[in-house]
């Protein structure tokens, strides 16, 4: 199996400069460690028609290239079902009938960590199960045997975070992100995960799940986000933040690429030139404040 890094956008809309900066970083991390670089479209949820094509076009426009074909999660249901089955057979799952509201209103266990599923459906007996199955479809949750898990991150060092009985398959049948991402990374030979540091808190859940599936955890690098002038994660409402918006103001994709590279302390021109100068140890550790262009 090859060794690879990846970029895994959700096709919910156009990529903004924060997403593009993360894509450049993922590319640089992979290429600088002689890995392949793969593109996976995470379209299980939040997919908008046409967004994937826009995203691929914009990645190409800033020079991000990828190996092999694009993989789409909606084509991989059988793989996810198999992983859930393995966990089921090992007694590591249970059916959950809770609504979002019930979870919010449930009293949490005395020592439960903030944000943890309160375990309402963890020990339903056969009669209760039968009763609840008749009223609503079940989600599948992991029967976690730990409350936290520690991962190692290239930029953050050791990070310990919450692991609860998180959802593996939603009650509408859609595979949950945490399961899909672990299964896909393993199946694609991805052993390096570079993504925004907003996903660091999900990482202990994913690494724990990988351990249950006997998958070695990848190398993680959670990179700083791009924020607006108020220090809040950049979003579409922050003005001209996509290549499309910026193009309308006469700012080329090459100029945006160079601005993003400069924000990383890297030379402008091509990603290849930036690659020659790339050193993960020298990367800025703070969020980058986007103040616009032009």
Q: Which residues bind ligand GLU (CB under 6 A)?
A: 8-10, 42, 181, 195, 199
- Closest to ligand GLU by CB, 8 vs 25, is 8
Residues 6+ positions from 211 with CB-CB distance below 8 Å: 149, 217
The whole-angstrom distance between residue 50's C-alpha and the CA centroid of its chain comes to 21
Work out how close the CB of 169 gets to ligand GLU at its nearest, in angstroms, rounded to a whole number.
Answer: 17
Give the span between the Cα atoms of 215 and 229, in whole angstroms.
Answer: 41
CB nearer ligand GLU, residue 169 or residue 195: 195
The full DSSP string for 152-219 is: EETTTEEEEEE--S-EEE-TTSPBPHHHHHHHHHHHTTB-EEEEEGGGGGGHHHHHHHHHHTT-PPPE
The least distance separating ligand GLU from the CB of residue 62, rounded to whole angstroms, comes to 17
Least separation, in Å, of the C-beta of 42 and ligand GLU? 4
Cβ distance to ligand GLU smaller for residue 21 or 195: 195
Nearer to ligand GLU by Cβ, of 96 and 234: the residue is 234
167-169 and 139-142 strand pairing: antiparallel
Residue 48 or 273 with smaller CB distance to ligand GLU:
48
């Amino acid at each position: 199996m090859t060794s690879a890094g990846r970029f895994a956008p959700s096709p919910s809309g156009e990529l903004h400069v924060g997403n593009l900066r993360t894509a450049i970083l993922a590319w640089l991390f992979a290429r600088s460690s002689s890995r392949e670089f793969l593109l996976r479209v995470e379209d299980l949820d939040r997919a908008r028609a046409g967004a994937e094509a826009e995203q691929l076009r914009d990645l190409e426009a800033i020079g991000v290239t990828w190996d092999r074909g694009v993989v789409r999660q909606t084509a991989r249901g059988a793989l996810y079902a198999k992983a859930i089955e393995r966990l089921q057979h090992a007694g590591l799952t249970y059916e959950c009938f809770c609504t979002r509201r019930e979870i919010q209103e449930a009293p949490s266990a005395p020592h439960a960590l903030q944000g943890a599923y309160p375990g309402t459906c963890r020990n339903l007996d056969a009669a209760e199960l039968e009763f609840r199955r008749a009223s609503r479809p079940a989600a599948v949750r992991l029967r976690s045997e730990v409350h936290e898990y520690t991962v190692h991150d290239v930029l953050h060092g050791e990070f310990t975070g919450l692991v609860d009985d998180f959802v593996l398959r939603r009650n509408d049948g859609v595979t949950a992100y945490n399961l899909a991402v672990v299964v896909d990374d393993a199946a694609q030979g991805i052993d390096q995960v570079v993504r925004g540091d907003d996903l660091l808190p999900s990482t202990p859940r994913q690494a724990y799940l990988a351990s249950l599936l006997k998958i070695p955890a990848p190398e993680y690098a959670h990179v700083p986000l791009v924020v607006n002038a108020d220090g809040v994660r950049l979003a579409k409402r922050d003005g001209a933040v996509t290549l499309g918006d910026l193009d309308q103001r006469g700012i080329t994709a090459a100029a945006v690429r160079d601005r993003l590279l400069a924000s990383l302390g890297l030379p402008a021109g091509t990603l290849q030139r930036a690659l020659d100068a790339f050193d993960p140890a020298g990367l800025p550790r703070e969020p980058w404040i986007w103040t616009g262009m032009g």
